[in-house]
Structure 1
């Protein structure tokens, strides 16, 4: 089967500004470990340490026709660099979130304005995950979040808190008063003008540092706390020491012994150091305000771990519901993990350097009939699949979940990567009339071509 039959070309991202993120030599998109990509339905962001290039397009428009070059304000003293990027997409608001090697979360508008800056924790942010679970009969509440993954910690920001902050910023940005003062605003104060975003922070280094991690969803409380009103989350981590680890995360900071110690020791130590520094160095009118401090840890209880030296966990991908996770390891295997039972339910071998994305495909035989009659597809019309990109084989395979067969094998050019639009936060003001399935996009770095995998197998 030809790849052209199963994909639809969207356009080319080729433009002069691509040289700023390393374009110009073969394999630039996949061979540079510092190059980060984030895809939305009509935008692509590429970041290389200190610069972000954003390409926009609409239906029928060339992706390279509308572009923005963003240079975040990073600390040269600490050699700070961009370590993670992701889109935050609400009904009427779309911004870019940036994680840095110093532990800061930055949020920028599409005009290049710094909206928010906040220290999450000291250390390198290796991943920003945006996901949500809708309210249904099995869940008593919906959960939408931005998860910040670091080597030893996980932080969770609630989507509603971020949306509320963004609305206040955009309202102020377009008010008459703001128009008169925005040009004189100090960028260092951007993270505090609209309040510090509340979040939970957990230490998940019990079984070693993380290469990747994710909060998979809400889980039941421990047996001794069945009457508790607080919410618990399940987190899955992968790394060098433990291929897979799982934790129960509590929202309660007061019960964390480590958090209690840090909440007492850190402020006292910081106060002492600050007092000594003032004695040594004369303070003047230009002295900057104190740096924000990370908050104490909440309780993270280890549930299980899988150690299998020399195997190391490399990448983790979550299904839309969070009940399945595809994990690639250093031995060329792909593990399909049931995140509720915490059991590996499927295994693939011979996929070194692979990457995985969950995708929803139309597999019904009557797809052509329903399309011609004006039928709007529902979630039940789609089947959950796993797309596996095996760059050494030069193919992308599509497997039906959980134990189904391989449905497609598509040639994938060398120097290409697969990507997926970020999760779109649900607004209470809008009700979706039709279901939007998960899609997989192909980006060929050498040719600049961007294409999307067809939803139907027929």
Structure 2
């Protein structure tokens, strides 16, 4: 493997990369919108800046998102235009949700304009206004990771409890239908050394604190300039960019170049309070890593600081299973489709979900069947890292968003990177054959 390019993300002293993400940009061809044209690399810095690069290492544009470090960045499902949003978590417990459609159009346009030399990344960043919202996680501190599980329908019990917590016993419930919310899962954990005792337990006086918070956000549409421009402006754009009026938006070749738009930084957006609707509480436990299952399974695993792996149902908000003795473990998910010959009347192929656990202290790579199945396989491996590839495609079609693409069983989203820099996927081929046999027998 060769290094294709090197990028200096920052030249400032004491500024470092705090989070990374990469995702594909969907193809403009309507028949191939389940495929990506190119890959965007999202780089978050400790000074709150957000940088977008092309796969060739070209800087597309930058955004000032916060005055503190950006802890995490995730491409998540949403109700916003494009059915996706880029969620940023800052060190001061704020969430910034960037609308997926506006981000996709901006990235496509930036790639074209910069590659043709019409605009530089600095010029593009000075006029581009992304459609976004900023939220403050009320009374939730020390959040080290966030993910979204999509839109959830609130049951009547949660609706009445929420009204009671908001306004007391006299608070009326006026909605006849249960409202929908976008659910965020925020995990609390240490971000560095020295924040916990030698035994790994929480040494603070607050023994009963929440280490997982389920936060709900209202599904009201985002107001913004770029979304309006996408549907109202009709000026044509060359170079395979859709007719969204982007040249008029940037002031290229029109009178609007003499009337520049005042750009508002994402860090200056008005803040909305969002609250934790439920939580998992344990004063001794801190989250280290979270790994969410493919869409449709409503599962995630949390690796904590005391050597446990917790399997959580994100819909029921409950812990289903706990593995002990897995300190510093890393996990991944593999979804397998299999149509068993013993059930010929089954029209659609059945699906099975497997959890991959890498235990560096034992040098083992384990495969477990979900949700309550046994360990079906284990491999001895050298030192390395288990990499879970679940970045997704920005503005992909519904099949991609729902996780029902037909070729999902042909490729794995988990690879193993050795200490020598080698990628291993051959063990997955052996596992998939074993998993298919086990799945047919187990079901």
TM exceeding 0.5: yes
Shorter-chain TM-score range: 0.5 to 0.7
Q: Distance in 2 between matches of 1:199 and 1:361?
A: 36
Residues 305-361 of structure 1: CA deviation (Å, up to 9, x unaligned) = 223222212111111227211111111111111111111111111111111112123
Asked whether 1:191 is paired with 2:136, we answer no
State the SS of the aligned residue for 1:92.
Answer: strand
- 2:281 corresponds in structure 1 to 307
Evaluate the alpha carbon distance shift between residue 230 and residue 304 of structure 1 in structure 2; reply closer, same or farther with a 3 A threshold.
Answer: closer
- 1:271 corresponds in structure 2 to none
Structure ranking higher on relative contact order (CA contacts 8 Å, 6+ apart): 1
- Contact between 2:84 and 2:99, CA under 8 Å: does it hold in 1? yes
Gaps of 5+ in 2: 26-35, 161-172, 190-208, 223-262, 438-443
- Contact between 2:153 and 2:179, CA under 8 Å: does it hold in 1? no
- Contact between 1:230 and 1:252, CA under 8 Å: does it hold in 2? no
Residues 267-310 of structure 1: CA deviation (Å, up to 9, x unaligned) = xxxxxxxxxxxxxxxxxxxxxx9976431222312112223222
Evaluate the alpha carbon distance shift between residue 292 and residue 340 of structure 1 in structure 2; reply closer, same or farther with a 3 A threshold.
Answer: closer
- Contact between 2:60 and 2:111, CA under 8 Å: does it hold in 1? no
Evaluate the alpha carbon distance shift between residue 433 and residue 244 of structure 1 in structure 2; reply closer, same or farther with a 3 A threshold.
Answer: closer
Q: Distance in 1 between matches of 2:268 and 2:308?
A: 37
Give the length in aligned residue pairs: 336
- Contact between 2:82 and 2:101, CA under 8 Å: does it hold in 1? no
- Contact between 1:103 and 1:124, CA under 8 Å: does it hold in 2? yes
Asked whether 1:388 is paired with 2:357, we answer yes
Asked whether 1:113 is paired with 2:58, we answer yes
Evaluate the alpha carbon distance shift between residue 161 and residue 147 of structure 1 in structure 2; reply closer, same or farther with a 3 A threshold.
Answer: same
Residues 349-387 of structure 1: CA deviation (Å, up to 9, x unaligned) = 1111111112123566669xx9xxxxxxx9834411111
- Contact between 1:328 and 1:355, CA under 8 Å: does it hold in 2? yes
- Contact between 1:132 and 1:423, CA under 8 Å: does it hold in 2? no
State the SS of the aligned residue for 1:299.
Answer: strand
Q: Distance in 1 between matches of 2:43 and 2:133?
A: 18
State which drifts further: 400-409 or 326-335.
400-409
Evaluate the alpha carbon distance shift between residue 75 and residue 296 of structure 1 in structure 2; reply closer, same or farther with a 3 A threshold.
Answer: farther
Residues 98-120 of structure 1: CA deviation (Å, up to 9, x unaligned) = 11112221101123222121122
- The counterpart of 1:406, out of the listed 370, 375, 380, is 375
Q: Distance in 2 between matches of 1:292 and 1:237?
A: 21
Asked whether 1:93 is paired with 2:26, we answer no
Evaluate the alpha carbon distance shift between residue 228 and residue 142 of structure 1 in structure 2; reply closer, same or farther with a 3 A threshold.
Answer: farther
- Contact between 1:100 and 1:124, CA under 8 Å: does it hold in 2? yes
Instruction: Give the drift of 1:188.
Output: 3.8
Asked whether 1:247 is paired with 2:215, we answer yes
State the SS of the aligned residue for 1:298.
Answer: strand
TM-score by length of 2: 0.67
Asked whether 1:356 is paired with 2:291, we answer no
Backbone CA RMSD of aligned residues: 3.5
- Contact between 1:149 and 1:214, CA under 8 Å: does it hold in 2? no
TM-score by length of 1: 0.65
Residues 15-55 of structure 1: CA deviation (Å, up to 9, x unaligned) = xxxxxxxxxxxxxxxxxxxxxxxxxxxxxxxxxxxxxxxxx
Q: Distance in 1 between matches of 2:80 and 2:144?
A: 32
- 2:406 corresponds in structure 1 to 434
Gaps of 5+ in 1: 1-62, 134-138, 255-288, 371-377
Instruction: Give the drift of 1:200.
Output: 2.3
- Contact between 1:243 and 1:307, CA under 8 Å: does it hold in 2? yes
Q: Distance in 1 between matches of 2:221 and 2:69?
A: 23
Q: Distance in 2 between matches of 1:429 and 1:301?
A: 30
Q: Distance in 2 between matches of 1:103 and 1:150?
A: 8
- The counterpart of 2:182, out of the listed 205, 229, 233, is 233
Instruction: Give the drift of 1:433.
Output: 7.4
Evaluate the alpha carbon distance shift between residue 231 and residue 114 of structure 1 in structure 2; reply closer, same or farther with a 3 A threshold.
Answer: farther
- Contact between 1:243 and 1:311, CA under 8 Å: does it hold in 2? yes
- Contact between 2:331 and 2:388, CA under 8 Å: does it hold in 1? no
State the SS of the aligned residue for 1:168.
Answer: helix
- 2:110 corresponds in structure 1 to 169
Q: Distance in 1 between matches of 2:90 and 2:348?
A: 34
- Contact between 2:137 and 2:273, CA under 8 Å: does it hold in 1? no
- Contact between 1:207 and 1:305, CA under 8 Å: does it hold in 2? no
- 2:291 corresponds in structure 1 to 317
Q: Distance in 2 between matches of 1:124 and 1:89?
A: 25
- Contact between 1:148 and 1:156, CA under 8 Å: does it hold in 2? yes
